[in-house]
Amino acid sequence: MGVYEDFVDLSYNPSERDLVCTFELSPCTRRAAGAVAAESSIGTWTKLTTLSEKTKKRLMARVFYMDGKKIKVAYHPELFEENNMPQILSSIAGNIFGMKEVKKLRLLDVRFPRRIAKSFPGPAFGIKGIRKLTGVKHRPLIGTIVKPKLGLSPEEHARVAYEAWVGGCDIVKDDENLSSQKFNSFLKRIEATLKAKRKAEKETGEVKIYMPNVTAETKGMLRRAKEVKKRAGEYVMVDVLTAGFAGVQTLREEELGRVIHAHRAMHAALTRSRDFGISMSVLARVFRTIGVDQLHVGTGVGKMAEGRDKVLENVHALTDEYYNIKKTLPVASGGLHPGMVPDLFKIFGKDVVIQAGGGVHGHPKGTRAGAVALRAAVEAVAQGETLTWAAARTPELREALAHWKTRTKK
């Protein structure tokens, strides 16, 4: 038997202390499966004079399940440094994707043992904390993204945000590639937009949320987050994959008392291929463990590629019972408009942020009318009404449904 095959032990019964990963593998042979386990733990392609049999038996990862193209690998907890997500991912999702032994490899699921999971802080607010902060109890949160993504001045950006808030949006966020460009510097933008937020709150009597994008090199990101705190902004937004796992962990553990909204820009480079990569549900689990409060998970409708089943897997990773770690609020965003609200309720229920960019600002009558239409659609469906009934009393919704050619039920 070869070196890699030593790491296959189908009689092994994982303990609750083990970290367990599920992979989809091709070819799903004992050698390829063993290669995944070996290279992600203590083994390599040849026997080692430096590895004692005692250490090998204690710390080797073990393939304990093989069925079709799926394998499950159990890892001894001592292989990992607690509170160090980069090290953990370097092990279970590192060099294994580059090996000749595997033609296809996807990390489908990860189960962190309690001791490792609890070494991270988890979300500071989670779903319950966000509902308490916003005062929105019985419906999805309603959000938009300032459009166009780039090109607006701070004053123009704030004006768009204000129109969305007074129209009925709870949340306005920066887009993923807006940081601190010359035409829209970070400090000027947050000052203008937070001022517009306070004005909208005074006029509507509702809590309004602004999510400024603080994504930058980690030290710069922390400086920006502290500027938001200094100005009494409640939220920060970060592009979690491009900022990096360590950067996000640092932001969370700084304990700034801000809700962390996580945008998943670049995720599809890891998640979309059926042949190689990491499932979005694994990333969702990882970022919940690190401690983000909200995370984009796809829509099941709209312009994003994931179907309903994949989106529900992502939602499950954010909201299941997980060692008393707080639940992360799913965010549906990407090609949405008011006519999609009934389908979004069927997929997500009420615990979701329904976030429409073009579906608000693309309304024929402008941003405020688009926000009115989205708010009317969400409140109607939350109360068990049809969009047809809601549109009969809300002209803005009626125009939105006609504009995006939505067929409604009577």
Catalytic residues: 147, 263
Give yes or no for a contact between 296 and 264, defined as CB atoms under 8 angstroms apart.
yes
276 membership: H or E segment, kind and range: strand 276-278
Separation between Cα atoms, residue 123 and residue 298, nearest integer Å: 20
| CA contacts within 13 A on the Cβ side of 35 | 20
All residues at 6 or more sequence positions from 29 whose CB lies less than 8 Å from its CB, including other chains: none
2-36 exposure pattern, b = at least 16 Cβ within 10 A, e = fewer? ebbbbbbbeeeebeeebbbbbbbbeebbbebbbbb
User: In which order are the strands placed within the sheet that holds 235-239?
Assistant: 209-211, 171-173, 141-145, 353-355, 329-333, 294-296, 259-263, 235-239
SS3 259: strand
State the amino acid at position 374 in one-letter form.
L
288, 118 Cβ separation under 8 angstroms = no
230-233 long-range contacts (CB < 8 A, ≥24 apart) are 231/190, 231/191, 231/194, 232/194, 233/190, 233/194, 233/258
E strand or H helix that includes residue 31? helix 30-39
Q: Look at the block and give the residue holding tokens 């389908």.
A: 343
